[in-house]
A and B are shown apart, each in its own frame.
Chain A
Amino acid sequence: MLTLEPKDLQKLLDELPDQRPIQHREVKVRKVEARDYSRELKWLRENAHLYRGQHLAVSGEELLAHGTDPGEVFQAAKATGKKFLMDYVARQDEIWGGGFW
């Protein structure tokens, strides 16, 4: 087994990429008035299956924009001047394995 002198070990550690844990900022919480997304969610429940594999921008019961490029959908919806909720409708063959840590 290879063993290193303390000075060599320190030299090796100094050369490694910085692996220090990131010190996050302190998160502050405040109460706000909850936004009402009930109309958008109702529309999505009833219609989202028609737009599989697409990003949607919905305002109330109106579909403002849809397509496979989320940036274009966002820009088109923003151009209407209305508030909207973005959503992505998964394809039927799409499975998410997850596993972030």
Chain B
Amino acid sequence: MSWDFSFSVRLEITQDQLGLRLPIALSIAGQEIETEAYLDTGASCCVVPRWVGEQLELDVESGDAINLGTGAGPMPGFLHYANLTIGELAFEDVPVCIAEYRGFDRILLGRAGWLQKVRLNLIAYEDSLYLNLHGQ
């Protein structure tokens, strides 16, 4: 048995020892940052460093306090909602956890808010990620 899939969008990913990265745009409260973000399909939700929230002039601690489980114990953060653009898809009101502590300095693309809405094909060998809206 075999399955054939076709995709209309290819994104170039970059890889380092920390993982697979792809360029995204993230906007919160009307301010935007374009940045590379690590794809982390094992994470429940997207995690954003505190400096990003502050540079986007967000009142970081106004979000609901949440604790993310990590291999090193709970990591506190604050829940906010952001607009996330990946390739030609713009997701509005994606829940993101903004890290409370400043030591966390990279953006993780976890599952909540966007992954269930797409078909995604990752070919790390070719530095390629293919993406379509589910149902298209």
Interfacial residues, chain A to chain B (CB-CB below 8 A): 22, 24-35, 37-38, 40-41, 44-45, 55, 70-71, 74-75, 83-90, 92, 94-101
Contacts and interface: CB of A to CB of B under 8 A. Distances in A.
Interface of B: prevailing SS? strand
Given A24-B95, A32-B85, A100-B43, A86 B70 contact: no
B90 A31 contact: yes
B110 A97 contact: no
Contacts, number: 130
Contact of B105 (A37, A45, A70): A70
24 contacts: A22-B95, A24-B93, A24-B113, A29-B114, A32-B90, A33-B88, A35-B23, A35-B25, A37-B23, A41-B14, A70-B52, A70-B55, A83-B34, A84-B34, A85-B36, A86-B33, A89-B16, A90-B18, A95-B17, A100-B44, A100-B108, A100-B110, A101-B42, A101-B69
Interface in B54-76: 54-55, 64, 66, 68-72, 75
Contacts of A74: 33, 51, 55
A41 B55 contact: no
Interface string B96-116: 000000000110101011100
B133 interface: yes
Contacts of A84: 34
